[in-house]
Amino acid sequence: MKFVSVPVDKQKINLLGFDRKGLAAFFAEIGEQPFRATQLLKWLYQENVEDFDLMTNLSKSLRGYLKENCTLATPACVVEQVAADGTCKWALQTDCGNRIETVFIPEEGRGTLCVSSQVGCALACTFCSTAQQGFNRNLNAAEIVGQLYFAQKRLGQGQKITNVVMMGMGEPLLNFDNVVTSVNLMLDDFAYGLSKRRVTISTSGVVPAMYRLTQVCDVSLAVSLHAVTDALRDILVPINKKYPLKELLEACRDNVKIAPRRRITFEYVMLAGINDSVQDAKGLVKLLKTVPCKINLIPFNPFPNSSYQCSSSEVIDHFRTVLQNADLVTTIRKTRGEDIDAACGQLVGQVADKSRRHLKLQKVEVGHAA
């Protein structure tokens, strides 16, 4: 068997960046049978074996090739913080020096990992700390999967990751191919084997990518809604100017057709005096009456220089009651990891502020609040 070697001036191939289809193509390219992909996945994700020499059902020559030309590299942990409630946040550094943040949320009977898909974010949602830092680049598939790979090793056998949410830094659907490759591995029975109901991709409403996702990847979808009118959503979630509510909801209705009893999760951050009135709640009922859904009310998590305040617990409870009385399944997200800035909307990382829009937007939102 003659293998093609990686040139010495190029980096080793990171095998964490391939799903099964990608691995099969890789093995075929070097003259190996595609079934080697399944064998390798089992070693990596089920047997937790990283040493190629120990992968005994691979030929000796193939093991030597993998050892010489390939790697299993994850972003390096530079900071670990553990909150009083057990939530753990890791600042991970990529090869090119960018830092991203990954959060593990332990709960009874489950463990949820919140994964980043980009370094920073380009969408400039005005209530989100990450968005105020601007956008640097997309993460590759190895860097996305590497967060899960690192976290499970760091947690050990005592804590199991049962759920993955693509709700960390970035807009997942603006990094479509790398996110889908990563999700394929999470769902693959020969890799992580997670249920499609336990993997969630969150989006602020990149409508064309939502339609595309429906065609290629059957996972749970969470939509960052946050407003019931285009006028307000244009301010809170500026991508609404390109894909307004009518188009967004049409894409949501298309998505729920792919499986019976499927529901979209709509995320709705509670901002005092902005979007938390009874009128807003009734508007939400009217807006979502034709979309099978559940609603997740998110108490706003403050960050420096934000002009927003969180709605009071009484206002949030009343808002939920209006929705529940209209037979909308509604929950209030429990804030986790707030003492280490790991709560929803607080992930920042070490990203240079490249957003020139958010200062202008903050001036507009203050006027709206008034």
Q: Which residues are catalytic?
A: 101, 344
Cβ neighbours, 10 Å, residue 184: 20
Contact in structure between 118 and 171 (CB atoms under 8 Å) = yes
CA distances (Å), origin 248, targets 179, 186, 251: 20, 27, 5
Q: What is the spatial distance between Cα 258 and Cα 250, in angstroms, rounded to a whole number? A: 14
Cβ–Cβ < 8 Å for 355, 124: yes
**Residues 15, 34: Cα–Cα separation, whole Å:** 15
CA distances, 177 to each of 17, 138, 201 (Å): 11, 10, 13
Whose CA is closest to 330, among 235, 225, 247, 173? 225
Answer whether 261's CB lies under 8 Å from 220's CB: no
Q: Are strands 163-166 and 135-138 parallel, antiparallel or unpaired?
A: unpaired
In 94-154, DSSP assigns E strands to 99-107, 110-114, 118-120, 135-138
Compute the distance between CA of residue 70 and CA of residue 283 in angstroms, rounded to an integer: 54
Question: What separation in angstroms does the CA of 260 have from each of 94, 166, 210, 255, 257?
Answer: 40, 23, 18, 11, 7
Burial class (CB in 10 A: 0-12, 13-18, 19+), 358: buried
Vertex 346 angle, CA 340 and 351, to 5°: 105
Phi-psi domain of 325 (left: phi exceeds 0; alpha: psi -120 through 50; beta: other): alpha
Tokens 């994700």 -> residue: 45
Indicate the angle between helix axes 176-187 and 141-155, nearest 10 degrees. 40
